[in-house]
Chain A
């Protein structure tokens, strides 16, 4: 626990929108956060607490108004989302955002297998990967292996999101960002995907930050729980302190 290496560090990260106007609003305030290798962090907070913004800042989709982000000691605050994709992967809340709808399941996975790499003018050689794709698909959703050559827009939301999740983790990322990735699914698919997610994070020893609205999930999964409120980190439970938490404790934050 104590000898884990620091993977990512946020220093005084602030995010202000509509700066200098009457609508000026601070979405993130003075965020100081260290993410250690192997952490599985559940990020909890009410609507507008800044959870998604924090994830967007980590992914590089938006640049913070202030502050620094260090990845393995290197300041990456100016690095683009595209560049960070070689070590940061993410799954969006909307199943439609994470996949290319007109391409097949296998074609999508092939893109994921080369996440963050230079794309060459060599033929794609889809066949070489098929066996491996089938094996990995079976791990996240039992129906997907038969749908390798089906266009993604023909899949159900649950299947599509399971594919998005596999795509984010197919090539092991150093940091996995999950933005309420099970929230848009029906209870059954949601539960299945959450279990597949947990299995994969444990088996591959991934470092992950997961936004969730479900307090049960926040208690059940992960080794660390961070509560965000009005753009600030108000609680950060780790290890045993997290294990000791109860639903009542968490519910108290939202009263």
Chain B
């Protein structure tokens, strides 16, 4: 039971990551590798600020802005430098490794004995692991609502159009550079925020905690898309968190079989690969109904 609650909590906490990637991967139609660097960046900023005695909420907010700055760098490389988006993201990500190490000072910094956003009094009265479910839900709902609001403004609509059809967007007077910058800043800001929250939940920041984040985020998105085919945008954004929770439960199931957690990234990659291949496979084997049903029951 505890394990399941813990997995659900993790799913909520990591849901923001999926949402952030949805903005770049699905709405903007770019694969933004920057996130592998901004996730630990957020963790590094938040943890080192908390260790210095900064309020954990402010530290998490600072992490958001740090991530947004990294997103701005990537968008600069894409729009001004004309570097392909995939490579631009990899460049920023690679550079961020050194930046993160500099912020942290060493490869791993513990939060032992420090106040975090999970130290609030209400959480102490909750049973074990429910703190992450509780706080994760609040963060997810607030962040998702803000993103939905932004997307439903005139600016947000222009942003969606730019990702959907850049040619048409330009003809409608939408500036592609502004859209790319805003999207990557928002997306990477949220990724860094997620990194900050996860680090506080784990109790430490680690230089290598970014490895595999893009796969985890994509898994949440793809699982939600496989399970819920046609949703409007607002429901889709909430469904991504649901995808994130299901992904955590799938991992838990795999670990329960007896595989060690050293294999986690391999398992993540395999789970994502399977999910992404589903549309191909199901067409050939008519698997759709059975797989969807069994996933829904999982």
Contacts and interface: CB of A to CB of B under 8 A. Distances in A.
A108 B176 CA distance: 17
Interface in A83-135: 83, 85-86, 89-90, 92, 96-103, 107-108, 110-112, 114-117, 119-124
A119 B155 contact: yes
B184 to A, nearest CB: 17
A82 B155 contact: no
B171 interface: yes
B157 to A, nearest CB: 5
Given A59-B171, A81-B170, A111-B172, A124 B157 contact: yes
Which label, helix, strand, loop or mixed, suits the secondary structure of the B interface? Answer: helix
A231 to B, nearest CB: 24
Nearest to B176: A82
A119 B154 contact: yes
B171 A119 contact: no
A102 B164 contact: yes
Interface string B131-174: 00000000000000000011011111110110011011111111
A209 to B, nearest CB: 15
B173 A86 contact: yes
Contacts of A86: 173
A100 B171 contact: no
Interface in A158-186: 167-168
Interface size grouping (class) on chain B: 20 to 34
Given A107-B157, A120-B155, A98 B150 contact: no
Nearest to A121: B153
A120 B171 contact: no
A120 B153 contact: yes
Contacts of B175: 82
Nearest to B177: A82
Contact of A97 (B154, B158, B168): B168
Nearest to A120: B154
A152 to B, nearest CB: 9
B165 A100 contact: yes
Nearest to A114: B154
Contacts of A168: 171
Contacts of A112: 172
B165 A101 contact: yes
- Which one of A86, A103, A168 has the greatest number of beta carbons of chain B within 10 Å? A103
A110 B155 CA distance: 12
A203 to B, nearest CB: 22
Contacts of A124: 152-154, 156-157
Contacts of B173: 82-83, 85-86, 114-117
A100 B161 contact: yes
A119 B164 contact: no
Interface string A122-158: 1110000000000000000000000000000000000
The residue in A82, A98, A111 that gathers the most chain B C-beta atoms within 10 A of its C-beta is: A111
Given A59-B171, A81-B171, A82-B175, A103 B155 contact: no
Interface in A67-90: 81-83, 85-86, 89-90
B153 A111 contact: no
Interface hub of B155, B171, B174 (most chain A Cβ within 10 A)? B171
Interface in B158-217: 158, 160-161, 164-165, 167-176
A55 B176 CA distance: 21
A89 B170 CA distance: 10
Contacts of A101: 164-165
A98 B172 CA distance: 9
Contacts of A117: 173
Given A82-B173, A90-B171, A116-B173, A100 B152 contact: no
Given A124-B152, A124-B153, A119 B174 contact: yes
Contacts of A59: 171
Interface of B: 149-150, 152-158, 160-161, 164-165, 167-176
24 contacts: A61-B170, A81-B171, A82-B173, A83-B173, A85-B173, A97-B167, A102-B164, A108-B161, A111-B158, A111-B169, A114-B154, A114-B172, A115-B171, A119-B153, A119-B174, A120-B155, A121-B155, A122-B153, A122-B154, A123-B149, A123-B152, A124-B153, A167-B172, A168-B171
The 9 A-B pairs with the shortest beta carbon distances in the complex, nearest first, are A85-B173, A116-B173, A100-B164, A119-B155, A119-B158, A100-B161, A119-B154, A100-B165, A121-B153
Interface of A: 59, 61, 81-83, 85-86, 89-90, 92, 96-103, 107-108, 110-112, 114-117, 119-124, 167-168
